[in-house]
Chains A and B, each alone.
Chain A
Amino acid sequence: MTNWTVILSIAKTHLFTKVKQTSIAALGVTFGIGSYITLVSFMTGLNTMLDDLILNQTPHVHVYNEIEPSKKQPVSLYDNFKESFNIVHSIKPKMSQKKIHNALPIISYLGNDENVRGVLPQVKTQIFYIAGSIELGGNLTGINAIDEARLFNMGDYIVEGSAEALQTTDNGILLGIGIAKKMSLKVGDRVQVSPINGGIFPLKIVGFYQSGIADLDAIQSFTNIKTVQRILGKAKDYITDINVKLYDIEEALPLSKKIEQQFKLKAIDIKTANAQFETGTTIRNLITYAVSVTLLIVAGFGIYNILNMLIYEKMNDIAILKATGFSGKDVQLIFMSQAMIIGFVGGVLGLLIGFGLASIIATIPFQTEALPTIETYPINLNPLFFVIGFSFAMISTFFAGYLPSKKAKKIDPVRIIRGQ
C-alpha cells in the first residue's frame, strides 16, 4: 500500500525548497562520477596504447633455435661414473645451426592450426652498414613486409615509405631511423651492407623504421627474406625465426609448450616474454579504481551529511506525517527517494561531464618521439565504464541515504510533538 505519487511529491518539494543543499549534494556525486569516467578512460587509453606499443609488435609465440649448453653432459651418460659426483668446468654451448630445421613444413603445419591467425617466417642476421671507411654494426631482418604490417602493425612504425614498397622492391631496405641520421641518408639513396662472412651488397632505401626505442632504431633494419638469404648465400629454406600470432592470447602458453616438445625448438610465449608488462597494467588499473572509489566514497559522505541535516531540520514534518497516517516506511521512502534522486541526477551529470572532459583530453596534442603514430592523448571511452560509474553512483547514494532514512523511520512522533 505504498503511495508513490505522494511520497515522490513530498520528496520533490523537500528537494526543491532546499535547492542549494540539494545541488551541493548532487555536485558531490557529479564530481565523483565525472572524475571516475575521465580518469578511467584516460588511464585505460594510456594502458592500451602502452600495451599495443609492446604487444602488437610482439609475436604471441616466437620460435627459434636457442644457443645453449646441452642439458646432459656426456659424463653423466657414462655408467661407470653414475654413482660419483661429477664437476664439469667451463661448459661451452652446444654447436648447432641457427636455422630452424625443416622450417617450411613447420610453418605450413602451424598455419593449419585453427587457433592460429598467422605464421610469419623471419631471417635474422648481423651485418655492417658501410659508410666510406666506417663500419656500423647492426641487425638485418628478412620479413614478409605486407604480412608483418597486417599481423603486427608494422605499418605504424614505418615513418617514411611503406611496407608495400619494401615487398615489391628487389634489394630494397627499410632502414632504422637512427642509422639513417648517422649516415645522412634519405629515401631513394643506396646503402651498402656487409654480412659477417664478407662481401658487400648495395641496397636501395625504400623507407625508414622508427620503433620508438632509440637503441633499437640505431641498429635494426628490414628487408625481404629473399634478399637476406641472398646476402648470406643461403638456400630458400634458411629460416631463423618463426613468429606466430593467435586469435586468443591465452592459447600462447600451451602452444609454445607443444612446439617445444614436438620440434625440439625454443618457443617463447608472449606472457613469459612480457611478464613485467602485465604487472604494470594491473597496478595502473588498481590505482585508477582506488582513486575513483575514494572520490565516490567522499561524495557518498557528502550526501549522508546533507540528508542527516535535512532530517534534523524536518523532525516536525516527520512527526506530523506520522501523526496523520504515514507509516515509518513511508517516511523512510521519502528520504530514500530524495537520496536516489540526488544520486540519479548527480550521476547522469557526472557521466556527461566525464564524457565531455575525456573528449576534450582526446583532442589535446600529445606528440612524442617514442610514439610516431600517436598525435593526441589516447582515450578509451568504453560504454562499460559508464555503466559502472552510474551503478556506483546509485549504490553509494543508496547507502548514504539508507542510514539517515532509517533514523527518520524510527523517529517517535510523540516525543517530537510533546517536546515542543
Chain B
Amino acid sequence: MSVVLETKHINKYFRKPVLFHVLKDVNFQIKKGEFASIMGKSGCGKSTLLYILSTMDTDYEGELFLNNQLITGQDRKHLSYLRNKHIGFVFQFHYLLSEFSVLENVMLPAKKLGEKSFQEIEHDAIEKLKMLNIEHLAKKRASRVSGGEKQRVAIARALINNPSIIMGDEPTGNLDSYNAENVFNIFKQLSEEKGLSLLVVTHDKDFANKTDRIIEMGDGRIIV
C-alpha cells in the first residue's frame, strides 16, 4: 500500500518564553486508507505535530513527505495549494465562516482550487452534504446550525476537493457522545468505503480504540 504521509526526523523547538524541545526525532508513516489516531497527555506535542503535518507550521527541522514528495522548504504559496488540494481539516471548534451559507462554506475550498466549474462544484458540495445527511441545511447561514451539524459541515468542507488525507484536531472534543459517535462513524465509513487516509489527534480513549492504529506520544517522542 502506498504511503500518503511520511515524516523523517522531525524536531521542533519553542523559542518563547524559553527554549523548549517539543518534538524529538519524530518518524512515522500513514498509509493510504489508514485511520490513525494520535494520543497522548496534554503538552506532549501531538497538536504541534499535527500542525507541522498540516503544512501550516513551517518552523521545524527534518523532512515531511506528502504522496512521496518532499514538501519541506516549499514556498508558502505552493504549501497553500497543497493544503487546498490534498489535505482536509476538521478542528475541535467548527470554524465555519459564519456569514456564509452552509453550502458556500463547503464550496469555498473548491472555488479556490478552481479546477471545476461552478455547477460541478455546487453538485459535488450537495453530494457531500447528502452523504452526511445534512443537505437540508444547505441554504442556512452557518451561524444558525447546531454544533453537531457544524462539525458535519466542516467534514463536508474537508472532503470537497477529494483530499489525500483528512486531519482532525480533537474533532469530537466539543461534542456530546451521540454526535461524537456520529462523527466517528462518518470517519470510519470514509476510511473503509472511499479508502481515505485519516489522522486524528484525540483525548478520547474510546474513540482512539476504534481506529486502525494508535500512535501514542509522550514528551515529544512517539512511544508506540
**Are A324 and B81 in contact, CB atoms less than 8 angstroms apart?**
no
What 1/0 mask marks residues of chain B from 114 to 127 whose CB sits below 8 Å from any chain A CB? 10000000000000
A414-B56 CB under 8 A given contacts A13-B100, A14-B99, A324-B83: yes
**Are A328 and B97 in contact, CB atoms less than 8 angstroms apart?**
no
CA A58 to CA B95, docked complex, whole Å: 75
Residue of chain A at shortest CB distance from B169 = A417
Contacts of B108 in A (CB 8 A): 6, 10, 321, 324
What 1/0 mask marks residues of chain B from 94 to 109 whose CB sits below 8 Å from any chain A CB? 0111111000000011
CA A216 to CA B94, docked complex, whole Å: 85
B145 at the interface (CB under 8 A from A): no
B172 at the interface (CB under 8 A from A): no
A325-B83 CB under 8 A given contacts A3-B114, A6-B112: yes
Residue of chain B at shortest CB distance from A328 = B76
Residue of chain B at shortest CB distance from A320 = B95
Contacts of A317 in B (CB 8 A): 97-98
**Are A3 and B56 in contact, CB atoms less than 8 angstroms apart?**
no
**Are A326 and B56 in contact, CB atoms less than 8 angstroms apart?**
no
B136 at the interface (CB under 8 A from A): no
B191 at the interface (CB under 8 A from A): no
One of A319, A324, A417, A420 near B109 (C-beta < 8 A): A324
CA A413 to CA B76, docked complex, whole Å: 13
- Counting chain B residues whose Cβ lies within 8 A of the other chain, the interface size class is 20 to 34
**Are B56 and A323 in contact, CB atoms less than 8 angstroms apart?**
yes
A318 to chain B, nearest CB (A): 10
B189 at the interface (CB under 8 A from A): no
A420-B93 CB under 8 A given contacts A326-B80, A327-B80: yes
Interface residues of B in 51-106 (CB under 8 A from A): 51, 54, 56-57, 76-77, 80-81, 83-85, 89, 91-93, 95-100
Contacts of B97 in A (CB 8 A): 10, 317, 320-321
What 1/0 mask marks residues of chain A from 319 to 344 whose CB sits below 8 Å from any chain B CB? 11111111111100000000000000
One of A9, A13, A418 near B51 (C-beta < 8 A): A418
What 1/0 mask marks residues of chain A from 1 to 24 whose CB sits below 8 Å from any chain B CB? 101011001100110010000000
Q: Interface centre among A5, A324, A327, A413, by most B CB within 10 Å?
A: A324
**Are A414 and B114 in contact, CB atoms less than 8 angstroms apart?**
no
B150 at the interface (CB under 8 A from A): no
CA A6 to CA B108, docked complex, whole Å: 8
**Are A330 and B56 in contact, CB atoms less than 8 angstroms apart?**
no
Contacts of B56 in A (CB 8 A): 322-323, 412-414
A316 at the interface (CB under 8 A from B): yes
**Are A325 and B114 in contact, CB atoms less than 8 angstroms apart?**
no
B111 at the interface (CB under 8 A from A): yes
Contacts of B109 in A (CB 8 A): 324-325
**Are A324 and B51 in contact, CB atoms less than 8 angstroms apart?**
no
A99 to chain B, nearest CB (A): 85
CA A326 to CA B108, docked complex, whole Å: 10
Contacts of A320 in B (CB 8 A): 95-97
**Are A323 and B112 in contact, CB atoms less than 8 angstroms apart?**
no
Contacts of A413 in B (CB 8 A): 56
CA A322 to CA B113, docked complex, whole Å: 13
CA A413 to CA B95, docked complex, whole Å: 12
CA A321 to CA B80, docked complex, whole Å: 10
**Are A323 and B83 in contact, CB atoms less than 8 angstroms apart?**
yes
A5-B80 CB under 8 A given contacts A17-B99, A418-B51: no
Contacts of A3 in B (CB 8 A): 111-112, 114
B176 to chain A, nearest CB (A): 19
B47 at the interface (CB under 8 A from A): yes
Interface residues of B in 154-185 (CB under 8 A from A): 157, 161, 169
**Are B81 and A1 in contact, CB atoms less than 8 angstroms apart?**
yes
**Are A325 and B84 in contact, CB atoms less than 8 angstroms apart?**
yes
Contacts of A9 in B (CB 8 A): 111
CA A414 to CA B108, docked complex, whole Å: 20
B29 to chain A, nearest CB (A): 23
**Are A316 and B47 in contact, CB atoms less than 8 angstroms apart?**
no
One of A5, A319, A327 near B76 (C-beta < 8 A): A327
**Are B111 and A414 in contact, CB atoms less than 8 angstroms apart?**
no
A309 to chain B, nearest CB (A): 15
CA A3 to CA B117, docked complex, whole Å: 13
CA A320 to CA B54, docked complex, whole Å: 13
B52 to chain A, nearest CB (A): 9
Contacts of B93 in A (CB 8 A): 420
Contacts of B83 in A (CB 8 A): 323-325
**Are B111 and A417 in contact, CB atoms less than 8 angstroms apart?**
no
Q: Interface centre among A14, A17, A320, A413, by most B CB within 10 Å?
A: A320
Contacts of A325 in B (CB 8 A): 80-81, 83-85, 109, 112-113, 161
B170 to chain A, nearest CB (A): 11
B57 to chain A, nearest CB (A): 5
**Are B112 and A5 in contact, CB atoms less than 8 angstroms apart?**
no
CA A417 to CA B161, docked complex, whole Å: 22
CA A412 to CA B93, docked complex, whole Å: 17
Give 14 new A-B contacts, CB below 8 A, not counting A325-B112, A326-B80, A412-B56: A1-B81, A13-B99, A317-B97, A317-B98, A321-B97, A323-B91, A323-B95, A324-B108, A324-B109, A325-B84, A325-B109, A328-B76, A330-B112, A417-B91
Closest 10 CB pairs of A and B: A325-B84, A327-B80, A6-B111, A320-B95, A17-B99, A324-B109, A325-B83, A414-B51, A3-B114, A327-B77
Q: Residues of A at under 8 Å CB distance from B?
A: 1, 3, 5-6, 9-10, 13-14, 17, 316-317, 319-330, 412-414, 417-418, 420
25 contacting pairs across A/B (C-beta < 8 A) = A1-B114, A6-B112, A10-B97, A316-B95, A320-B95, A320-B96, A321-B97, A321-B108, A322-B56, A323-B54, A323-B89, A323-B91, A324-B89, A324-B109, A324-B112, A324-B157, A325-B80, A325-B109, A325-B112, A326-B84, A326-B112, A328-B76, A330-B112, A414-B51, A417-B169
